[in-house]
Homo-oligomer: A and B are copies of this chain.
Amino acid sequence: MPLEILTETRSHGGTQGVYSHPSKETGTEMTFAVFVPDHEPREKLPVLWFLSGLTCTHANVKEKGEYRAACAEHGMIFVAPDTSPRGNAVPDAEDEYDFGKGAGFYVDAAQEPWSKHYRMRSYIERELPEILAAEFPADMHRQAITGHSMGGHGALTIGLRNSDRFRSISAFSPVVAPSQVPWGEKALGRYMGYDRETWRAYDTVSLIEDGARHDHILVDQGTADNFLDEQLQTHRLASVCETAGIPAEIRMRDGYDHSYFFISTFMADHVAWHARRLKSEG
């Protein structure tokens, strides 16, 4: 698979790279960012995935996420994919920040015209891991996943559906029940169609109701987040985890909002939390 190096920059005792490749899943060129700490020859490092939120690309967390110092300290690779397919061939909803490009919601779309390119679930679950395993010093037996907002939804749903692969799951300000909030109802309705049964695989609360389980879930949520009441509704996750007996750690952070000023504040905590779980033998 031809991988193009767009940039590789020395930072925090490692290499921050940006790469692109033709994706079979999305039918487009896809760009992603990877930070690799310095390491011994032939050493394989654990991997932390970060899925970004609405309107973002791979670049937002790369510039504002403040993860490199912690990843270097813990010897962890950090992977930041894009949030949707890109390019002129990809259908879009140009005036809508919460649908189309920049808003793939980590689903494999079932409805025309979205289903041809919007295959972010398979891209993140299958295609990009193969590239990572082939091209980077990644120990694919030690993976963890996190994300922000729409990407927190992505991390929780992908992590829960693949609990054997991801030893730990965390999220910043995640959308926990897209089936029940405006962002999610719009996106799932148009990508998947209006049979709500097909939405359940893309809804954290539904997945847990349907039996998904994970012993290592961490969520940070700011109390001053403008989206908390309408779109995020963290209490629904707390409630379903309590019912299911899942020991999720959900921390409400007083005065913090939805921005990278919040994410960057707790990023090092999340990296350390995942590192503790990835260092133990699986």
Indicate which residue in B13, B63, B257 contacts A10 across the interface (CB closer than 8 Å).
B257
Asked if A255 lies at the interface with its beta carbon under 8 angstroms from chain B, I say: yes
Tell me whether A185 is interfacial, beta carbon within 8 Å.
Answer: no
Rounded to whole angstroms, the CA-CA distance of A64 and B256 in the bound complex is: 19
A66 part of interface (Cβ distance < 8 Å): yes
A259 to B9 Cα, complex, angstroms: 9
Q: List 24 A-B contacts (CB under 8 A).
A: A9-B257, A9-B259, A9-B261, A10-B222, A10-B224, A10-B255, A10-B256, A10-B257, A10-B262, A11-B261, A11-B264, A12-B264, A12-B265, A13-B265, A16-B261, A63-B63, A63-B64, A63-B260, A64-B64, A66-B66, A66-B69, A68-B264, A68-B265, A69-B265
* Residues from chain B with Cβ under 8 Å of A66 in the complex: 66, 69, 264
With contact pairs A16-B261, A63-B64, A261-B16 given, residues A69 and B268 touching in the complex (Cβ less than 8 Å): yes
Across the two chains, which residue of chain B brings its CB closest to A15? B255
Interface residues on chain A, number (Cβ under 8 Å): 23
Number of copies: 2
The list of the 6 closest CB pairs from A to B, nearest first, reads: A11-B261, A10-B255, A9-B261, A12-B265, A10-B256, A66-B66
Q: How far is the CA of A11 from the CA of B255 in the complex (A)?
A: 9
Residues of chain A whose beta carbon lies under 8 Å from any beta carbon of chain B: 9-13, 16, 63-64, 66, 68-69, 222, 224, 255-257, 259-262, 264-265, 268
Cα-based distance from A257 to B16 in the complex (angstroms): 12
Q: B68 contacts A11, CB within 8 Å?
A: no
Contacts of A224 in B (CB 8 A): 10
Residues of B within 8 A of A9 (CB): 257, 259, 261
Complex contacts, A16 vs chain B, CB 8 Å: 261
How far, in Å, is A56 (CB) from chain B's closest CB?
14
Residue of B nearest to A255 (CB): B10
Chain B nearest CB, measured from A53 CB (Å): 16
In contact, A11 and B63 (Cβ under 8 angstroms): no
Contacts of A262 in B (CB 8 A): 10-11
Q: Whole-angstrom distance between the alpha carbons of A260 and B11 in the complex?
A: 9
Chain B residue nearest to A256 (CB atoms) is B10
| CA of A69 to CA of B67, assembled, Å | 12
Nearest CB in chain B to that of A63: its residue: B64
Known contacts A69-B268, A268-B69; A261/B10 CB under 8 A: yes
A253 (CB) vs chain B CBs: closest residue: B10
Cα separation A264 to B264 with both chains bound (whole Å) = 13
Assembly CA distance A235 to B68 (angstroms)? 30
